[in-house]
Structure 1
Amino acid sequence: MAEPHRPVSHASLAVAAFSTIVEWYDFTLYLYFATVLSRVFFGGGAQSLLVTLGGFAIAYLMRPLGAVVFGHIGDRIGRRHMLLRSVAMMTAAMLATALLPTRAEIGAAAGGLLIFLRCVMGFSVGGEYTGVVAYLLEGAPESRRGLIASSASAASEIGALLAVGVSALTVASMSEDSLQSWGWRIPFFVGAILAGSVWVARSTMQESPEFERQQSHGTVPDVPLRHALATQRGAIARSFAISALGSITYYVGITYVPAFLTSAGSFSEGSALWLSTIAAVAVILVTPFTGALSDHIGRRPVLIILSLLSAALPAAMFSLMASGGPGAALVGALVLACVAGSFSAVGAVATAEQFAGEGRVTGLALGATMATAVFGGFTPWLAQLLIERTGWAMAPGAMIALVAVAVLPIFVMMRETAPISARPTRSASS
């Protein structure tokens, strides 16, 4: 007989969910600060911005590797140990970035060091997402999995909101000379302090009850990577599809928007960052609603609806932002942010539910994180390249629509993963 599900304490769930603030603070800070970093480390100009975004893409190649390495730790010795080690590496990378010499001080080597530290960050973040999502799924009450897993997405957006807010304040509060000589370091020092605080908070967390069950039953996989490839190939493919659309809607539809508005010439850096701050607030508001909705009607219907919206809306929104005034740009950014935030909310729980407990973190690494590496890290760079080569402002939105159309049939055929108990309207007939 299956053992009853045993949730972890509210405190442990809160630490796991809200510690994602620091994960996305630093990783999205690089994109929000891309135009500044392009001047500080690569000399400035359109080509430098492309190189800076390319560095973000290269760093993302480390994310699947980090996810597999940290996934092995999470599936072999526990989710808690995995999360402690990943945030310790993140803290070191943030602090080192804040202390980097600039191009003016050591020449082109500065840009190489920046990209190297981005790779370290990508490696550590690979372990963050998979570990947190698995922990929340396994520790939450079954009827609230969607809502609680979405809290990690909302907290991530709080981190992104903090990143864009700190970036905007930093840019607005000093001269260009001060910004390039020392002011750019401030947001990264803030991130290092946040990450150190998260490590302290995570040290108080309980272990996942699912991992404790595996230990007591002797079912912990000896080689999680081999176990996942042998038993969960279909789940890996489905989680790849979910994360592919979730990643491109987020990284092109939210974090690339400030660079798009600035490079299009319609907004200053400060104005673009403040507009993105408003969009981030919208994401925080819509995320828990979508997570709770998936608990009531299921993951599959929500995924299908959001896929249709992702196919229909983004191209028009990018065109609106490029050709309209501040009001039109705000509408476009808000629509893109709400679609992307909603997808992140349901995508988190839907990917994790594709896998059995044994090898779950490694399975997420192979599916969700691999998709994020391709459709998250490279897409801002590709969007900027397409605009520069074609002059077509709708190109980023067309990229999102293409992915949405490609994955929609998978969502249509996908079985529902939300527990029956999470859908009160159907429980009476069970």
Structure 2
Amino acid sequence: MAIAAFSTVVEWYDFTLYLYFATVLSRVFVGTGDGSLAATLAGFAVAYLLRPLGAIVFGNIGDRFGRRRAMLISVAVMTAAMLATAALPTHAQIGPAAGWLLLLLRCVMSFSVGGEYVGVVAYLLEGAPERRRALITSSASAASEIGALLSVGVCAATVHALDPADLDAWGWRIPFLFGAALAFSVWVVRAKMEESPDFERQRAAGTAPERPLAYALRHHRAGVLRGFAISALGSITYYVGITYVPAFLTSTGAFSEGWSLWLSTAAALVVILVTPLVGALSDRFGRKPVLVALAAAAAVSPVAMFSLMASGAQPEAAIGAAVLAAVAGGVSAVGAVATAEQFPGEGRVTGLALGATTATALFGGVTPLLAQLIVERTGWTTAPGAMIAVVAVAVLPVLLALPKTPPGGAMTAEQTRS
């Protein structure tokens, strides 16, 4: 379980690297013209649409052949994609083809990350003691944020260590090479993992579904919809409230590229601290009340926090980033276990893929681009905060209607279908 949780470091290092390095990648692969950052974020959005497909494919593997096998294959694909990205030619070398090659490899990365999340969450939930499920499952969220912290730290160090010419010529490759080595090391460690005890139960009883997608659509429709709502809130608070922030601060002219990355480093530390605390709270008081409180916070605070970050004052920007990070970290902590608990063991990975990962593709992959376009075309710097608030208000009724989960416990089979 420790290996599964902390190996998500590499997943989020590799994936968030693209957003944290977006301004550099836009110059290297798209050029320095107007709209290059928006085009780079558009590539992220397009690639992100592959995430649900990857989740369904790897979910099928996980539900039929085991969680361990799915996680091994996904990190192997991730390793290859990172290494290939580090070796790409630039826009200065081959022109617009460089941008298309980067997009292709981001699609491969997104495909593999889609399978990574659902496999790890299911594995952790199924191995955790009943009254510690949220705390243990949230460890994957905390570990993934360590990966994001490592990503933004490596990016910031690279930007500060090199002059702009060297950074654009060859220095941008350093974070990707580091990520490829990290991913390979995780594959080696994962090869020693045991299979999930719940999947072993299914295999012994002969209840593992032969067609997981059809099984999930037939038996878990209500759970898929609830998982979609929970993940929509988690995705927009994380991707707009945390990973988009460096690009927001730089593109609005509030702060330099390097300072924006260091601010994101601090935000990642906030998430790491908040995540286990919120996970433990939901084990103590139940998932529903904690999720409702976090949704209310996401509805009332983001507009003010983006206003603080756009002010140009460092203390105010730090407060805004920290509050947004705390809300996003809290939602990720309880959301991971809450979505997984919408399904019994049979078909769980595919159910997560259909609900949680589809929501993440729509509210995570597209929203940074949408936020950037609105800011660029209207000058409305608090628009990203308004986007978070709208989703939070829309999701709140679904959260209020969630079946009550006993503290530390999972829903019954009847509840998952209702």
TM-score class normalised by the smaller sequence: over 0.9
| Contact residue 133 and residue 408 of structure 2 kept, 8 A | no
2:205 maps to 217
RMSD: 0.9
CA 1:325–1:203: 2 relative to 1, 3 Å: same
| Residue in structure 2 matching 1:43, options 31, 41, 58 | 31
In structure 2, the residue matched to 1:427 is none
Counterpart of 2:388 (choices 396, 400, 412) is 400
Alignment partner, residue 348 of structure 1: 336
Is contact 2:134–2:408 with CA below 8 Å preserved after alignment?
no
- Work out which of the residue numbers 284, 288, 293 in structure 2 matches 1:296: 284
The within-5 A match list for 1:84-103 is 84-103=72-91
Residue-by-residue CA offset, 1:147-174 (whole Å, 9 max, x unaligned): 0011000000000000000000000001
Once residues 398 and 173 of structure 1 are traced to their aligned partners in structure 2, the CA distance between those partners, rounded to angstroms, is 36
Match of 2:298 in 1: 310
Instruction: String of CA shifts for 1:275-300, please: whole Å, max 9, x gaps.
Output: 11011111100100000000000000
Match of 2:416 in 1: none
Secondary structure of the corresponding residue to residue 68 of structure 2? helix
Paired residue for 2:255? 267
By how many angstroms is 1:324 displaced?
Answer: 4.2
Residues 358/332 of structure 1: CA separation in 2 closer, same or farther (3 Å cut): same
Distance 1:385 1:14, change over 3 A: same
Conservation of the 8 A alpha-carbon contact between 2:11 and 2:116: yes
Counterpart of 2:239 (choices 245, 251, 270) is 251
C-alpha distance in structure 2 between counterparts of 1:187 and 1:377, whole Å? 21
For each residue in 1:47-88, what CA deviation from the matched residue of structure 2 results, as whole angstroms up to 9, or x when unmatched?
000000000000111000000000000000000000000000
Q: 1:116 aligns with which of 99, 104, 108?
A: 104
Once the two structures are overlaid, the 10-residue window that deviates more, 160-169 or 409-418, is 409-418
State which of 131, 140, 144 in structure 2 corresponds to 1:152: 140
- After superposing on structure 2, the runs of 4+ consecutive aligned residues of structure 1 that deviate more than 4 Å are 418-422
Q: Residues 418, 35 of structure 1: CA spacing in aligned structure 2 closer, same or farther, 3 A cutoff? A: farther
CA contact (8 A) 1:150 1:348 kept: yes
Is the partner of 1:339 in helix, strand or coil?
A: helix
- Percent identity over paired residues: 71
Which secondary structure does the structure 1 equivalent of 2:310 belong to? helix
Match in the other structure for 1:164: 152
Where do 1:178-217 residues align within 5 Å? 178-217=166-205
How many angstroms apart in 2 are the aligned matches of 1:44 and 1:419? Answer: 53
C-alpha distance in 2 between matches for 1:75 and 1:382: 35
> 1:124-147: per-residue Cα shift (whole Å, max 9, x none)?
000000000000000111111000
TM-aligned CA deviation for residue 417 of structure 1: 3.0
**In the alignment, is the contact (CA less than 8 A) between 2:283 and 2:408 conserved in 1?**
no
Name the aligned partner's letter for residue 243 of structure 2.
T
The separation in 2 between residues aligned to 1:420 and 1:398, in whole angstroms, is 33
Give the aligned residue type for 1:139.
Answer: G
Aligned length: 410
Equivalent position of 2:345 in the other structure = 357
* 1:142–1:419 CA contact under 8 A, matched in 2: no
Distance 1:199 1:46 in 2: 40
Could you tell me how far 1:416 is from its partner in structure 2?
Answer: 2.4
Task: Measure how far apart 1:315 and its partner are.
Answer: 0.7
